[in-house]
Structure 1
Amino acid sequence: MGNSASWPVRRIAGKEYGRRVSKLPNLHVAVLMGGWANERPVSLMSGEGVAKALEARGHRVTRIDMERDIALRLHEAAPDVVFNALHGVPGEDGTVQGMMDLMGVPYTHSGLATSVIAIDKELTKHALVPHGIPMPGGRIVKSADLFEADPLDRPYVLKPVNEGSSVGVAIVTEESNYGNPIRRDAEGPWQQFSSLLAEPYIRGRELTTAVLGGKDGPRALTVTELVPKSGFYDFNAKYTDGMTEHVCPAKVPDAIARLCLDYALKAHELLGCRGTSRSDFRWDDEQGEDGLFLLETNTQPGMTPLSLVPEQAKHCGIEYGELVETIIEDALIHFGKLEGSA
């Protein structure tokens, strides 16, 4: 990081801070986590990791497990900035972002409009595909219609339109035990959601690329291949230790790696992401470059010990605490609260 004399005086919200070893001056950071989405346990792990890293670097931290009185609690805490460690609805879909915009509270990660679009897989396609980013075809279907006939030729994928972390994803094959057509009593996302996104199943390999913002603009980090032991990278495979092998960097041809980096950075910029994002891909290695498809862009990727963004950052020489501070720095620059440069 350099010695204490290497950092200029900063000014946060009109207050001047002296030089210190850390990239940022001492801040009061509210870490927003938890909530009531399906991804609550992941959010709590992300938030605690962020909070501990910030405290280790000299910042004052207020942990907030989001409840319905969140606006009042943020007002009472009066932080310099909020680190948004929420996942899913309502912390990742623009709801919390709009509230903090109205309150005038600076916060990390993407803003309202970007969050609304990126969490909706169909809206994401409308935003990215016209700009040359390949994504699977498909359509929105009513869950009740699945019990009458398949919406696509098997194999196909069914997933919620606006959930993350592979919550509620089902792969429907000829061999699946869902029935043909799908039985009403079969366990699957059709029991939780009234409508689903149906997409053709893309055979092959699971790849992901993180993008990290900062004062010099966003950059794509690297490509990781995910090899789940169960054969399917679902919620349990993502967040259960030992269930998925992370190959970082991925052992893929240079042309595929470059495409992943290019598509992830382009998606980040087209959607207007801030802080960090992570784009997930499927690659049919029998089809070469034509077999690479972006599945979704996550605007608030996990920060747990098993999460991919910290892993890719570390591969690029960015330790966890520096990663957290870089995300905060990007937010403060966006909201005009940071003067000076490192």
Structure 2
Amino acid sequence: MMKVAVLYGGTSAERQVSLATGKGIIDALQERQHEVVDIDFQGSRSCIEKVANLDVDVVFIGLHGRLGEDGKVQAILDMIGIPYVGSGVFASALAMNKHRSKHFFAKEGIRTAKEHVVDRNTYDSDQFDTDLSFPIVVKPNQEGSTIGLTIAKDEETLKKGIAEALKYDKSALLEEFVSGHEVTVAVMGEKYQEQALPVVEIVPKNAYYDYESKYAPGGSEHYVPARISESLTKQLQEQAVSAHRALGCDGYSRVDFILPSEGGAPVILEVNTLPGMTPTSLYPDAARAVGLSYSDMVEKLLNMASHDGEANK
């Protein structure tokens, strides 16, 4: 039995998702008889002091988005020497930056979507132009859960989408729209021993895999394993592990792809270093497909972090 702190909630636009993730993790840890210290981490001085004064064996980070998934909390934990589940500061920050992480994916030979980055400080809606063809996907460069996402089919919608995305981040990422269906690959394992879990195919009820499709009960169907060929499955799993390693991720991640309707290589969307762990989340679905219950999965991730912590002492 270990004494485990669970950080969840946060201040990002993904707060509600993180609250659900935190509850799931806490329930699983208590089921395994661990002593749990739960902290709704909202970034205040008192919260930071509470974390800095933790007396626990390991921290399970259930935060999503800014001030949690971006490396800031990990930096605090590194400074005070407490091991934690998941990736370190550099990998967390890099994965959150969709634009910069795509350069690492491309170096691994993984196909990425054409893009255009808009900076809040220099953006002028009256002078703006792009070489991308409609429809265009617009999203904050450093957010998740499809927060602030727009599928723009004309210039007016594009400018509204950019304005919306810039509410959440100082830069907006514009990408070519790749028609197809989304799949995701969970990666798990200690460094250089990572393995990809079965590919999950996502069929949303809505036109796009939006926030409602991700988190509302019945918002999407998940097929595990995905209804694709063995060769494509192998390709996706290999690329997921390559993307995970390229960013320096640790312990676990979830890598999202689009399979283009027109054919051709899969297009990587992003690497999630702290994937959702809600009842409708994809990572637990993939874990169940290899015989890991939710609590088994949490225990396995916890043990990896604890082992790493002991090795680094």
Determine which of 12, 23, 30 is the counterpart of 1:55.
30
Kept after mapping to 2: 8 A contact 1:62/1:77: no
The answer to which of 109-118 and 234-243 deviates more is 234-243
Q: Equivalents in 2 of 1:302, 1:183: separation in Å? A: 28
In percent, how many aligned pairs have the same letter?
37
Alignment pair present for 1:327 and 2:307? no
Q: Equivalents in 2 of 1:294, 1:269: separation in Å? A: 14
Kept after mapping to 1: 8 A contact 2:138/2:174: yes
Q: Secondary structure at the match of 1:211?
A: strand
Superposition RMSD on alpha carbons, in Å? 2.2
Q: Secondary structure at the match of 1:246?
A: strand
Determine which of 84, 95, 102 is the counterpart of 1:107.
84
User: 1:133 is matched with which residue?
Assistant: 110
User: 1:206 is matched with which residue?
Assistant: 182
Determine which of 242, 265, 270 is the counterpart of 1:296.
270
Trace 1:103-252 onto structure 2 (pairs within 5 A): 103-142=80-119, 144-146=123-125, 148-151=127-130, 152-174=132-154, 179=156, 182=159, 188-214=164-190, 217-252=193-228
The normalised TM-score by structure 2 is 0.92
- Cα deviation for residue 194 of structure 1 reads 4.4
Read off the aligned partner of 1:217 and give its amino acid letter. Answer: Q
Determine which of 53, 56, 73 is the counterpart of 2:50.
73
Kept after mapping to 2: 8 A contact 1:148/1:181: no
Q: Equivalents in 2 of 1:271, 1:331: separation in Å? A: 18
Distance 1:179 1:66, change over 3 A: same
Q: Secondary structure at the match of 2:172?
A: strand
**Structure 1: tracts of 5 or more residues without a match:** 1-25
Q: Equivalents in 2 of 1:326, 1:161: separation in Å? A: 31
Kept after mapping to 2: 8 A contact 1:140/1:198: yes
Q: Secondary structure at the match of 1:312?
A: helix
Kept after mapping to 2: 8 A contact 1:206/1:227: yes
Distance 1:318 1:147, change over 3 A: farther
Alignment pair present for 1:269 and 2:249? no
Q: Equivalents in 1 of 2:160, 2:74: separation in Å? A: 39
Q: 1:48-95 deviations in whole A, cap 9, x for unaligned?
A: 111111111111111111131233212444110000111011101111
Distance 1:337 1:49, change over 3 A: farther
Q: Equivalents in 1 of 2:27, 2:158: separation in Å? A: 49
The answer to which of 267-276 and 302-311 deviates more is 267-276
User: 2:292 is matched with which residue?
Assistant: 318
Q: Equivalents in 1 of 2:308, 2:61: separation in Å? A: 15
Q: Equivalents in 2 of 1:183, 1:64: separation in Å? A: 37
The answer to which of 120-129 and 73-82 deviates more is 73-82
Larger Rg: 1
Moved beyond 6 Å, runs of 4+: none
Q: Secondary structure at the match of 1:236?
A: helix
Q: Equivalents in 2 of 1:207, 1:142: separation in Å? A: 30
Q: Equivalents in 2 of 1:215, 1:268: separation in Å? A: 10
Q: Equivalents in 2 of 1:183, 1:30: separation in Å? A: 41
- Cα deviation for residue 142 of structure 1 reads 3.7
**Structure 2: tracts of 5 or more residues without a match:** none
Q: 1:126-155 deviations in whole A, cap 9, x for unaligned?
A: 222112111112121246444544522111
Read off the aligned partner of 2:38 and give its amino acid letter. Answer: R
Read off the aligned partner of 1:103 and give its amino acid letter. Answer: I
Distance 1:180 1:234, change over 3 A: closer
Aligned length: 308
User: 1:22 is matched with which residue?
Assistant: none
Distance 1:337 1:181, change over 3 A: closer
Kept after mapping to 1: 8 A contact 2:183/2:201: yes
Read off the aligned partner of 2:198 and give its amino acid letter. Answer: T
